[in-house]
């Protein structure tokens, strides 16, 4: 897979990669949100250690807003107890998910 052409070269590589990842994740979730009908539910996940739970939630909220969907978070999801996270390596908490619902 070729790396994307990101015009703003003044950003550090990690920031550019994170911006690209966020944009990609946003567009994928926006398409899925457009497919939801009233009463529909969406379970969505990210397994990137570079995307925090806060950023992931913002990506999903932005995608729903752009899709014109008023969604609600029903539950925050993550790895099971058989995948502990070391306090010295918080990036190990890479799996994060949201269960969302469109009211109706």
Q: Kindly state the percentage of the chain with pLDDT values over 70.
A: 70
Distance of CA 26 to CAs 5, 23, 30, 33, 62, Å?
18, 5, 6, 10, 7
Q: Which residue has the higher pLDDT, 2 or 24?
A: 24
Query: Structural domain boundaries of the chain?
Result: 13-101
pLDDT confidence bin for 95, thresholds 50/70/90: very high
What's the pTM? 0.69
Domain 13-101 sits in CATH 1.10.520.20:
no
Residue 6 has pLDDT above 80, yes or no: no
pLDDT (mean) for 4-23: 58
Do the strands 96-101 and 41-46 form a parallel or antiparallel pair, or are they unpaired? antiparallel
**27-41, 53-67, 73-87: the lowest-pLDDT one:** 27-41
């Amino acid at each position: 897979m070729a790396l994307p052409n990101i015009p703003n070269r003044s950003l550090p590589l990690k920031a550019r990669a994170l911006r690209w990842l966020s944009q990609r994740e946003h567009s994928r979730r926006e398409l899925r949100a457009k497919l939801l009908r009233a009463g529909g539910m969406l379970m969505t996940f990210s397994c990137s250690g570079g995307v925090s739970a806060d950023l992931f939630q913002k990506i999903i909220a932005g995608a729903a807003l752009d899709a014109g969907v008023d969604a609600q978070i029903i539950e925050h999801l993550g790895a099971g107890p058989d995948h502990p996270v070391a306090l010295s390596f918080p990036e190990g908490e890479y799996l994060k998910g949201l269960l969302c619902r469109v009211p109706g």
